[in-house]
Structure 1
Amino acid sequence: MSLVKKTAEYKIVKRKDDRYAVTTLAGNPINGEEKAKILAAEELIKLTAPRPAEEEAPAEDEAAAE
């Protein structure tokens, strides 16, 4: 693994499979949304907005009305 960036709070390393690992300076891993926010802030990844959920209720109401 190669060190990409080290800050006062965490360090970012690039793994052999071209993914990023974020750990605290104590060596504890950071995962989930917190990891995604850190990588996006460092411009290492791009986040896309989630798609709006389609409502299935109107389609069911139309079928019930017939």
Structure 2
Amino acid sequence: YEILDYLWKFDKHREQVKKLTAYAEEHIDDAEAPLVLRFINLLMNDANFLLDEALSQMTRLKENQEAMDRGEWNS
């Protein structure tokens, strides 16, 4: 994630991330998950979704390529 790499370059932002993660460690068992944990969870969900979409598209691409190879493709 490019935005995180970009923000990490700035000391002020890096310190805030460290504070948020320290807070999250202290409050990991709270009823409502700390902000940074919810954010990381959303990032992981997005990454999983994008991976799933990419794999699905690769399957369709392979099927189309095989159809073209067999001459079943209408250009």
Which category of TM-score, normalised to the shorter sequence, fits these structures?
Answer: 0.3 to 0.5
Of Structure 1 and Structure 2, the greater strand share is in: 1
The structure with more radius of gyration: 2
By relative contact order (CA 8 Å, sep 6+), the higher-ranking structure is: 1
Larger helix fraction of residues? 2
TM-score, normalising length: structure 1: 0.33
